[in-house]
Structure formats: C-alpha cells, structure tokens
C-alpha cells in the first residue's frame, strides 16, 4: 500500500509540474498541427511549433524562475515523501520488542493439541506464545534481558514443547545450557550444561547448544554445536555421553561433525543430524 501511495503522489507531482510549465508558457489553449496529425501540447511536447518556442523564450525570466523554484520545491517534497514512506516500510521488518514484534526469531514450534505456536525470539531473549490467528503474542519465558540468571534467557534458539509437563525445553545457546521453563512459571530449571554459562567440552558442560529433543523414554539428545558433537543425557541425568562426533574436533569424515545444528529421531530412534558446515545430513543408528 505505501508503494502504491508513493506512485500516485509521484504522478500527481509530475502533472503539477507539467501544468506549471504550460501555464508559464501561456500555452494552455494552444495546439500544434503538422502533417495532418493533431496533438495536444500537454502530452506531446515535441510537437511544439517554432512559433510557440519563440513565444516561450519571449516570456519573462521572472516566470521561468518561478516555475524552476516550483519544480525544486516539488522535487524536494518528493524526496522527503520517499524517505518517510521508505522508513515506514522498513520499520515493518525491523527488530522490535513489542508483543506484535520480533527480533531475529530462530525457531518456531507448534502445540498440535491447542494450535498455539511458540517462537524463540532470540535477540529479544525471550520465547513468545501466539494463540491461533493472533498477531500479538504473550511472553512465556525470558523477556528480562540477556543474562545467566534463572529468570533470564541468553540467545534462546532451540525449542521443544513437552505436553506432559506443559513446559518448554529451551536450548539456551548463549548461556551454554539446556533449561526447562514451565508455562506460567517465572524462572527455569537446569537440565544440562552450566548454571552460570561456563563453556566446556566435558560430560557435564556444553558450548553453544542450539537444539534439544527427547525420545519416548525421556532421554535427551543435544546438538552441542560448537563442540561438534551430539550429547545423550539419560532421563533425569545432567551427565552426558557423546554419541556422535568428537568433542572439540571438527571434520568431514563419517565419524566427525562440523557445527551440527539440529537433529531429529525416527520411530526406531535412529538419529538424523544437520551437519551444517559440512553441507550434509548424517544418519546415526539407534544409540
């Protein structure tokens, strides 16, 4: 719509300039004739006859200057209008932290039972829930600035909705941990990684994890992205086992990964890993 308005305004301005030109020439009632073809002066300037050109240059310079000033004013107005409309259009795609705005959302999941969707509004350090058909959401996790406290998130990326506990499992990448945030609660509980954001490649630490998922037994699988590995956490345990890749070692052979970004399990618990920097999907048989 703003682009359409801009186009209409530009057409109007052009017409006004033409009218001013013709009025200044005193040509509004004139037409030119040549070779049996009649043309309106307003639409075909090339048809201006020699007589009319002489008439034009005979006009006072004051009137010509007046038209020139009017043209400049109209052009300046056009550029101002373009700037205003351009700002309006780009603001619709700019970051924002209102309930109908997002800032670099990295993930979205849907609760199939309710139709609600949950968005990892990553740079706003929050997770937002949208009811079916709604354009404004409700903050259900984070939204208290970036940090390591249990009421804050730190670049949340991966999301997993656990219907049995009505909670979100969040890959809190910037804090190097995986947390659970029950819908309606004011803080999270730690599932894996460091409470205070410590980076590491041991069995209890993570480095920028971006995805977590679960099998039907409650075991958790984590894409420990910057450690180039997949970690397996038995249900209720915060000590992981590397089941794909090698901690801190990136590579492209069949046993190594390079910035694994996400993973899914099939019904047989075979695992598929998006090995992002290797431009491939790797399949690993059930652990």
What is residue 287's predicted lDDT score, i.e. its pLDDT?
84
For 47, the token pair is 């048809």
What is residue 68's predicted lDDT score, i.e. its pLDDT?
54
Classify domain 105-284 at the CATH superfamily level: TolB, C-terminal domain (2.120.10.30)
pLDDT along the chain (287 residues), means of 10: 50 53 44 34 34 41 53 53 39 82 97 97 99 97 98 99 97 99 98 98 99 98 99 98 98 98 98 98 95
Contact 78, 13 (CB under 8 A): yes
What is residue 93's predicted lDDT score, i.e. its pLDDT?
73
For 136, the token pair is 């404004």
Q: Which of 128, 220, 209, 139 is nearest to 176 (CA)?
A: 209
Cα radius of gyration rounded to whole Å, the chain? 32
Place of tokens 């200044």: 24
At residue 95's C-alpha, the angle toward residues 92 and 101, to 5°, is 70
What is residue 215's predicted lDDT score, i.e. its pLDDT?
98
Alpha-carbon dihedral sign for residues 201, 206, 208, 212:
positive
- CATH 2.120.10.30 domain residues, the chain: 105-284
Sequence-distant (≥ 6) Cβ neighbours of residue 287 within 8 angstroms:
232, 243, 269, 271
């Amino acid at each position: 719509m703003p682009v359409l308005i801009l186009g209409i305004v530009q057409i109007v301005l052009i017409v006004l300039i033409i009218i001013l030109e013709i009025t200044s020439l005193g040509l509004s009632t004139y037409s030119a004739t040549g070779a049996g073809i009649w043309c309106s002066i307003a639409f075909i300037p090339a048809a201006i006859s020699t007589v009319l050109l002489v008439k034009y240059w005979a006009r006072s310079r004051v009137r010509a200057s007046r038209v020139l000033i009017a043209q400049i004013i109209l052009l300046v107005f056009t550029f101002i209008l373009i700037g205003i409309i351009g700002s309006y259009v780009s603001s619709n795609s700019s970051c924002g932290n209102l309930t109908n705005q997002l800032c670099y959302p990295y993930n979205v999941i849907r609760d199939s039972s309710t139709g609600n969707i949950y968005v990892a509004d990553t740079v706003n350090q929050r997770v937002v829930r949208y009811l079916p058909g709604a354009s404004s959401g409700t903050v259900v996790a984070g939204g208290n600035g970036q940090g390591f406290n249990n009421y804050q998130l730190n670049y949340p990326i991966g999301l997993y909705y656990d219907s049995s506990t009505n909670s979100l499992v969040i890959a809190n990448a910037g804090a190097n941990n995986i947390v659970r945030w029950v819908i309606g609660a004011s803080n999270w509980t730690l599932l894996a990684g460091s409470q205070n954001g410590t980076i590491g490649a041991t069995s209890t630490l993570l480095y920028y994890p971006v995805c977590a998922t679960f099998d039907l037994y409650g075991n958790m699988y984590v894409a420990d992205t910057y450690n180039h590995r997949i970690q397996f956490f038995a249900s209720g345990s915060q000590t992981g086992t590397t089941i794909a890749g090698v901690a801190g070692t990136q590579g492209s052979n069949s046993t190594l990964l390079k910035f694994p970004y996400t993973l899914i399990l099939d019904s047989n618990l075979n695992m598929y890993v998006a090995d992002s920097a290797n431009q491939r999907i790797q399949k690993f048989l059930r652990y």
